[in-house]
Amino acid sequence: MAVSWTHAMIAAGSAALAALALVVVVHLVVRLLGRRWRPAGDLARSARFPFRALVLTLALSGWVAGVRPGASDDWAAWWEAGALVLRVLAIASGGWLLCALLLFVEDLTLGRARTDVRDNRVARRVRTQVLLIRRLTIALVVVVTVGAILFTFPAVRTVGASVLASAGLISVVAALAAQSILANAFAGIQLAFNDAIKVDDAVIVEGEWGTIEEITLSYVVVRIWDDRRMILPSTYFTTTPFQNWTRKNSELLGSVELDLDWRTDVDALRAHLPSVMERAGTMWDGRVSHVQVTDAVDGLVRVRVLVTSHDAPTLYDLRCHVREGLVAWVRDQQAHALPVRRVLLDGT
């Protein structure tokens, strides 16, 4: 049956007006919502282009379906090809819009999880979980979108039916081939929700001190104190013992140890410590500063100084500051306390 071009143009105009009306209405709603809820503006900016692309492709698809030519028309095959392209673009636009909405929700959650405060344990846990959920959801949307696009082609649907018929054998082979990959993926999910480690946690792994910089499905990045990066598989943290200094809270207790002579005036050193802590400024949180003699071996006494700080990086700087201050004081005020080795010579 021949298509009336007048009918086609009327249908095209109707589709364009409907798409324009929908875009305008949504724009007005978002603007009104933005006056009471500031993130609505961010939502509009992030979803503007994918939303318009989806509305446009749906409108064109509706127009193409409404004026579909008869099978006897010469250009019917081209019309079907155009309809197929529009379906693919509509599915891709829908996936794009869904990704934009997911990223907006996740960014909104991350913005509320502030890690620049003293007690940021809950915020770090939320940040860790949201970052991993982001990767999972985006990957899932991409896979589903690509699958939906592929299944719009008749040839792919035929192949898909054959694949499903042999799904049992394929699943066994795939499970054996991807065993290590799946183990890492499940370990990554487990790490995000069992609270063993979080982003910015201070840890000791493989004898190195560092902070958790990134947690993915397959690996964890540890930033070492000297700016090196140690990359470990996710299964490492579910199968190997490691130290987490900030699992419960970010406030830490650290120690500085000095090996001094037996003649050291420990009371004088203890009296000098407050002046060292005052010069530390904000590095010290004011909770603990103690001097203890913890050992006496090989002609030396081991003096341990306990101090506390807000977080792991600051604690490291504080320990260095205390060590430098006490070493300088012992050198200048108690030279007799410097470590010496006594040797008894027998003249016979």
pLDDT, one tens digit per residue, over 226-248 is 788 999 988 888 888 988 887 77
Q: How deeply is 222 buried, as exposed, middle or buried, from its count of CB atoms within 10 A (0-12, 13-18, 19+)?
A: buried
Q: How deeply is 195 buried, as exposed, middle or buried, from its count of CB atoms within 10 A (0-12, 13-18, 19+)?
A: middle
What's the whole-number mean pLDDT along residues 261-283?
90
Distance CA 164, CA 59 (A): 34
Distance CA 20, CA 59 (A): 10
DSSP count for the chain of H helices, then E strands? 10, 8
Q: How far is CA 90 from CA 30, 97, 153, in A?
A: 23, 10, 14
Distance CA 125, CA 117 (A): 14
Pairing of strands 202-205, 208-215: antiparallel
Is residue 1 predicted with pLDDT exceeding 50? Answer: no
121 touches 249 (CB < 8 A): yes
Q: Residues 135-164: pLDDT tens digits? A: 878 888 888 888 788 777 776 666 555 554
Is residue 114 predicted with pLDDT exceeding 70? Answer: no
Tell me the Ramachandran region of residue 195: left when phi exceeds 0, alpha when psi lies from -120 to 50, beta otherwise. Answer: left
Is residue 47 predicted with pLDDT exceeding 70? Answer: yes
Q: What percentage of the chain reaches a pLDDT higher than 70?
A: 70
At 45, the pLDDT band (50, 70, 90 cuts) reads confident
Which domains are delineated in the chain?
5-112 (no CATH), 147-249 (2.30.30.60), 252-337 (3.30.70.100)
Residue located via tokens 């620049």: 116
Q: What's the chain's length in residues? A: 348
| Average pLDDT value over all residues in the chain | 77
CA 319 to chain centre: 29
- Rounded to two decimals, the pTM is 0.54
Q: What is the pLDDT of residue 11?
A: 60
262 touches 302 (CB < 8 A): no
Beta-carbon count within 10 A of 46 CB = 17
Q: Residues 200-230: pLDDT tens digits? A: 788 888 888 888 888 887 889 998 877 889 9
Q: What is the pLDDT of residue 76?
A: 63
